[in-house]
Structure formats: structure tokens, C-alpha cells
Amino acid sequence: MAFETIITGGTIVDGSGKDRYEADIGITDGAIAAIGDLGQAETRRSIDASGHVVSPGFIDMHSHSDRTLIDDRNAESKVFQGVTTEVVGNCSYSPFPVGPLGASVIARSHLSEVEWTWTDHDGYAAFLESDGISVNVANQVGHATLRAAAGLLDNRPPTADELDTMRRLAAESVEQGAFSFTTGLTLPPGSYAATDELIEITRAIAPYEGAFYASHARLWADNHVGAVEEAIEIGAIAGVPVQYSHMAIIDSRVFDTPEVMTEPIVQARARGVDVTYDMYPYIAGGTHLSQMVPEWLQDGGVAKMLERLRTPDTRRQAVTDLRKGWFRGLPWEWDTIIISHVQTEANRDIVGKSIEQIAEDRNHDPAEVYLQLIDEEDNNVGCVAVNRREDNIRYFMAQPYAMFGSDGSAISPTGIYGGDKPHPRFYGCYPRILGRYVREQPAVLTLEEAIHKAAGFPAERMGFKDRGLLKAGYAADIVILDPDTVIDNATFDDPHRYSDGMPHVLVNGEPVVLNGAHTGTRPGRVLRRGG
């Protein structure tokens, strides 16, 4: 038998969680054609994996690359860490459907001048595939985008017609191939929604095989358990599986009891509710500054928020409220909020500085500076917030119903986002897991467990029939890594750094990373629910 590519001499960790074994892999037409002793077979390309582990490509269960891939088609920050599939549309925002209010309502932090010509899932998929992408993309439809498409940005329940519109658009998106319905319940307009609204929209996707509900939940002070319970309730009543997004405790007052957040999941699974979660291995999160301002300030959308900020009386009230409490009463310090992204050149020098440092430089009150930045940047300003503890990361990572998701985006050091200081998870999530928590802290995870949580388990949740495992007939999304050297290099101070120990990455059988260099190929596809 002749193959297009043979990977020889490697140790296979197949993504199922089973023990590793030695074998070669033969690839033809983008798929794994054979696994075994292929030493005598003919091939056009041979990749020597001696001394290395061969694993399925990682499926980033929680990504925000739907916007960045519009510009950074080579997805360098992700493929260099072994990611071959990006699950996007998380936290309530997806690039479709685009309603009468237009794309500007949902095109947050999108820097280029690319025109959003699409209105639905199929249009967005065609746009991505028209110029090629280096990773596969699996889309989800976001609640905030549905609200915007229905013209509902205000803090109120939907009318019957608005709810029908959201349900119809959610169903249409899933029919066209979106895998799930996502929410972002700490971010307006998603935070305005009552549980009943979310149940009704989720019910609209329940008839579609494999569709599920994914929630960035209402994680604020004194609601860390309630946030998990609400997510479970929505899925259970609507009759769909539940994916809890970026599991973490961000309230320092309850760092000592992480098990209280997983107990509702254990109980739900025991009664037959399919609940899982994703998480990432860092003690800091990343978001937009506007997520943490008083909710009344955001009522009606970004334009109205900026109008209020530019009115002296409401600006003073916002400063007062911001001083009283931040992010629904969670404890905080100004020096833990670090600017990662701005839109204007005028503020480029503040990237990498904390709110406290910027306030000192400007000789202003930190709360005032916080709002100044949102005003000056027309709300296009991102931050990193240190708000987690290391032992909790290890706990959440080790649970049997956990999988991995970076909560980052596919970018490149030389692209239009190269001047930002993003969260290092954009570049380092998976190598960090394999180096820090498998090799350096082997009590946390075995290599087989980690790769299952990075590939096989996410594939199960997504309903992929031919990805996530190294198996004959499956798509040849493959990572070749050195278990002795794999590690992340990206830091909060210097995030645009590729990892070590992943010399080869294949997407649909084509090398995207070969001998440690990006090949420039774009063999990725937009995957669709149901195949």
C-alpha cells in the first residue's frame, strides 16, 4: 500500500485515555488509512517521530478565534501549541446571525477593515473557507448575537415576537451546522436574560441531534454554586447536554472549597444529566473592561454606554458605583487588572500596565481612569485580571468530567494583533498542561489523561464522528510532540512566544507545522454538526 504521508517510529497516545503503544501511521486523502508496522510501505512524505509522542490534534473547546481568523488565517498561536480545531462562538458572541442592527453590534475587538458580508452561519463559513484557514473551525451561536439580531439590547425581557425571532435564528444556525447555543451571563445584554428566556431558546435547538448548551455563567459574588446550578437547570429542562465554560473560582473568599462547584455536576450526572466543563491552566482571566462596570451603564448597548460615560452627571455616578463594588461584589485590587489591548495608537503605551500604574501616571483616581479608557477607546479595550489560585486549577483539571479550552484566540506575532499584550493562553495553554501538569507534576494528570481531555473528550462533546482519536478512517489531525521538552514560553509580560517541543502538526493530513516552522498551508475546514 502506498501513502501520501507516513509517520514512523512514534509512540501513539490515541486520545481515548488508553495506554500508549508503538506504531506507524499512514495517511491518504486527509485521513488515517492505516496504523501498524508500515516500514515497507511506499510514501511521498515520511515524518520521523522517533522519541516523540504522536497524538490526535487538540480540540480547543473554548476559543474566541471566530473574529481573529478573519485576519490571521494561519492561526499561528494555536497550531504551534497543537490545536487543530477551534470551537468558537463562545460566551454569547458569534459572528452570525447578523440582524437589522448590523454587524457593528457584534464585531467587538475586530481591528481590520474586512467587510462583514455574511448574515448567517453558511455565509460566515463560506467567507472563512474562501481564502483558507490553517485550523478547523466548529461554530456555535451566541445569545448576545441573537438578542442583537432581534433588536433587543435593553435590560428587559423579550416580547413574544422577539423571543420567536431568537428561537428561529438559533434553530436556523444549528440547522446550518452550528453545534450549540452559548451564553455570556456576566456580559450585557446576556446578563439581562432571565433563566426562562434561556430555557426557551435552548428548547429551540433540542430537536437537533447532538446540539447542546454552553454557558459562561453568572459567576459573581456569592453565586459561584448558583451559576453552575442554573446552567444545569437550563440544559435539563430543555433536554440538551450542558457544557460549563472556563470552570474557576474567582472569589478569593471561597478559594478553599472548589468541590462546592463540582458537586452540582456530580449530582446531575448521577441522575442522568450530561454535564461537562472546560478550563484553562492560568491564575488570571481575560476580558473587556466594560464587563466589570455597573450594569445600568451598559443598558441598551455600547453606543448608549458611551453616551452615558460622556455625560458628566452619569459619569460621576458610574465612578461612585465602581468604587463601591466591582464585578457583582467580587473582591479586587486595581493592580491586578492589566491592559492587554487598545484600539488607538494614542494609548499604545498603556498596554501591559495595570490600572493602578496608569492612574499614577495620569494622577487620577483609578475608578475614573478605568472609565476614561473605555471612553477613549470606544470600548475596544481588553484586560487581564489575576483572580484564581493554583491549587484550584489542579483540582478542576483532574476531575473526570473536565476537558480543556484556552479561552484564547488564534493570532500571530506579526499580525494586526501583534502590538497587543494578550493573555498567554493565546499561545501556551496546551504545552503548559503537558509540560507543567503532566511532566513536572505527574500526580495531576498522566499523558494519556491529558490528551484525552484535549482531544478525545472534546470530540465526544462535539459529536465528531471522525476526529479526536488516532484511528483508521479518522481525519488526520495529528500532533507530534516531545514529552520531555514540551512547554509553554508565553508569559504575561511577553505573550507572543511559541511553545517548545511540538515540531510537527498536521491538519486534515497536511503539515501546517513541519520541523518547527509554519508551512503556510491552510487545509482547515468549517466543521458542521451532524457531519
The region that residue 274 occupies, defined by phi over 0 for left and psi between -120 and 50 for alpha, beta otherwise, is beta
The band of 325, judged by pLDDT with boundaries at 50, 70 and 90, is low
Q: Which residue has the higher pLDDT, 44 or 110?
A: 44
Q: Measuring CA to CA, which residue among 305, 174, 183, 306 is closest to residue 242?
A: 183
Q: Is the pLDDT of residue 300 over 90?
A: no
Instruction: Round the average pLDDT of the chain to a whole number and report it.
Output: 94
In this structure, is the dihedral angle defined by the CA atoms of residues 275, 278, 283 and 289, taken in order, positive or negative? negative
pLDDT surpassing 70 at residue 109: no
Could you read off the pLDDT of 351-360 as tens digits, one per residue? 999 999 999 9
Q: What is the pLDDT of residues 112-169, one digit of tens each?
A: 678 888 999 999 999 999 999 999 999 999 999 999 999 998 999 999 999 999 999 9
Residue 40 has pLDDT above 70, yes or no: yes
pLDDT value, residue 299: 85
Q: What percent of the chain has pLDDT over 90?
A: 81
Q: In whole angstroms, what is the distance from residue 166 CA to residue 209 CA?
A: 20
Confidence of residue 294 (pLDDT cuts 50, 70, 90): confident
User: What pLDDT is recorded for position 298?
Assistant: 84
Encode 43-67: b = buried (16+ Cβ within 10 Å), e = exposed.
Answer: beeebebeebbbbbbbbbbbbbbbb
pLDDT digits (tens, 9 = 90+) for 446-473: 999 999 999 999 999 999 999 999 999 9
- For 508-526, the pLDDT digits (tens) are 999 999 999 999 999 999 9
Give the pLDDT band of residue 328 (cuts 50, 70, 90): low
Checking if the pLDDT of 281 tops 70, the result is: yes
**Considering only 189-203, 305-319, 331-345, which range has the smallest mean pLDDT?**
331-345
> Is residue 336 within 8 Å of residue 354, measured between CB atoms?
yes
Residue with cell 450594569: 295
Task: Summarize the confidence of residues 50-76 as an average pLDDT.
Answer: 96
Model confidence pLDDT, tens digit, residues 468-499: 999 999 999 999 999 999 999 999 989 999 99
Burial class (CB in 10 A: 0-12, 13-18, 19+), 15: buried
At residue 41, does pLDDT exceed 80?
A: yes
